Amino acid sequence: MLRQFFALFLCFSLFASSMATAFAQGFGQPNIPAGFGGLTPKSNGTKGGGQSFSTSSSEKEQKSGGVAGGGGGAGAEGSLYQVHILGQIENPATYHVSISTRLMEAIGLAGDVLRKSGSKRFVELRREGKVVRYDLFKFQRLGDLSQNPFLLDNDIIFVPYSTNSVSIEGAVKSNGVYELIDDKSLWGLIELAGGYTVGVSEKEPVTIIRYEHSKKTLLKVPNVQQELKTFELLEGDVVVVPHMFNDNRRFDYNITELPADNVFYPTQNDNIFVIGGVAKPGPYNFVPTYSIRDFINQAGPTRLSKPKSAYIMTADGKTIRNLRGKKDIQLSPGDTIIVPEQKVTFNNTMAWYNTILNTFFSVFAFQQVIDKLD
């Protein structure tokens, strides 16, 4: 009877040992494909900002449904031109275009000029060592075909950074950012914006928001053509043309962005985050006098948590470990306290079981040897 018991016990032990090995090797775990969760391989192409240049046009042609260009669908290689589009453009690259392609069409093929930084009024066309500048704004708004020439083979189109940019809002036909060239008067800007709408208020003055030496100044110009023609705008000015519906109303003219400008708005977090082995993980109000243990107690440590092994991840991504015995650790707003937990899993349970089992069999075998010697 005792031998049968030990035989069954040995079979069960061997089965448990094999199962522990299988689970330790990942048996039964799901197979996660590449790219799961939004992680995809990096592309070796570049895009945007005018910071890169690609000499391959086959990909561009495939995206546009074949050979790109305007006015003709020539299919033979001999009837295609190669043009290089560089600078402040969305997709700078070398393109194959048809022989009837104009400047504006080629720029459209490259994704258009970058809205904030690119200039449409000083587009350079470089050909055989010569540079000619074209004003695409005149072509778009005024229909001046001389500003949209045909392209030739190996032409280089370069879009520079914009300069002398101002913004206009209010009772004009086309609000937005404009780049001034020769005429920098307030009246010239209004004409560029298409003129007044029917709701313009001629009684109220035109307001110019100007920042000089980090100070905001509100300038008022009477809405009279002669006055508007003599007032000269500066780069970064924001012009507000009054509307009759806003007559006699006062505004503070708080703006969040200047024309052709990039603003970074940093965020501030006044919380301490506690995660891991706690009952209520999440943000907690920062109290300068609180220690790490105080914040962990607020979140309620779980039965398996190890508060003494807690570590900190700062707001800038740095990790501070080995906090045991250190009472002078100063927490800052935005820090995260990570409380690890003791892990009770099938694998470490079976490992513990195998250790006990091997010890038992070793003692049993040793006892059998001693009995035979006796």
Predicted TM-score (pTM) of this structure: 0.52
The pLDDT profile of the chain, 374 residues, written as one tens digit per residue, is 555 455 455 555 555 554 554 444 444 333 333 332 333 333 333 333 443 334 344 344 434 433 344 444 444 456 899 999 999 999 999 999 999 999 999 999 999 998 888 999 999 999 999 999 999 999 988 899 999 999 999 999 999 999 999 999 999 999 999 999 888 999 999 999 999 999 999 899 999 999 988 888 999 999 999 999 999 999 999 999 999 998 878 787 888 788 878 776 666 677 899 998 899 998 998 888 888 889 999 999 998 888 888 888 887 777 877 666 566 678 888 889 999 887 766 666 677 677 777 777 776 766 676 666 66
For residues 185 and 230, the answer to whether their CB atoms sit within 8 Å is yes
CA angle 238, 247, 172 (to 5 degrees): 45
Task: State whether residue 114 is helix, strand or coil.
Answer: coil
d(CA 274, CA 100): 65
For the chain, domains (ranges, CATH) are 58-159 (3.10.560.10), 165-246 (3.10.560.10), 271-339 (3.10.560.10)
For residues 220 and 205, the answer to whether their CB atoms sit within 8 Å is yes
Strand partners, 131: 126
d(CA 329, CA 286): 14
d(CA 234, CA 212): 10
Q: How far is CA 313 from the centre of its chain?
A: 23
